[in-house]
Amino acid sequence: MKRPVVGVIANAHRVERRFTAQIVGERNLRAVAEVCGALPVIFAGAPDITDIGALLEVVDGVLLTGARANVHPTRFQTEAHPKHEPYDEARDALALTLAEVCVARGVPIFGVCRGFQEMNVAFGGSLHPEIRELPGRMNHRMPRLETGEIHPDPAVIFADRHDVHLVPGGAFAQLFGKETIRVNSLHGQGILEPGKRIVVEGVAEDGTIEAIRIADAPGFALGVQWHAEHDAQRNPVNRALFQAFGEALSARKREA
């Protein structure tokens, strides 16, 4: 059997502040190729370039990646503020619709960080632009030096920083074979109110929602707030997620 194909959403980026580009972090591509056993195919996060119907004729599943840009607040009836920029409204327009269509058609979909947030908004949920500003919450953003600069060591940036407590007997607890896991944390925006079909299955020690599934989805439809693409080849938590996604992709391909 040929390898499954995974569509990996790209993000708007400006090279040298002049040239527009669509980019994907290589960790995402390697996780798909090396752990899922699938062929990653990048598609533009822009509805005027990417036709959803045509995309889903080609791929066996979709990975909604993380990104620097926040989901635009108007997508969940909130006013935008310059301090929460950048935004990527073209990706919003594509990803939110794509999440709904994938779930409806049973196409495996896995949301990571921004992708996790997009899945929540697609089903009517809301986000908070700075989850650390809520009472009792920790700073979930990536580590910085005392000077305010981002820490230069990737091992520090992607280090496991907090526990996630999983719903006993839920999809994630079954997948990991345990009810507590430890994960990295590199986000500012986070889920405020879950959408109508969003089932919360994992919560950080400070109450921040970290793992979700879509209720009554006919196919794989999971999302995580942490960056599961990091070291998915060796990290047992992240590897288990991409392996499960890969199994769903293979099953989808056999059914096609």
Report, as residue numbers or ranges, the catalytic residues: 113, 227, 229
- Enumerate the β-bridge partners of residue 170: none
Distances 105 to 16, 88, 211, 230 between C-alpha atoms, Å? 40, 26, 22, 29
Beta bridge partners of 138: none
DSSP assignments along 148-191, one per residue: SPBPS-HHHHTS--EEEEEPTTSHHHHHHTSSEEEE----S-EE
Task: Write out the two tokens for 37.
Answer: 């056993």
Going by DSSP bridges, is the β-strand pair 5-9/61-64 parallel, antiparallel, or unpaired? parallel
* Cα distance between residue 236 and residue 239, in whole Å: 5
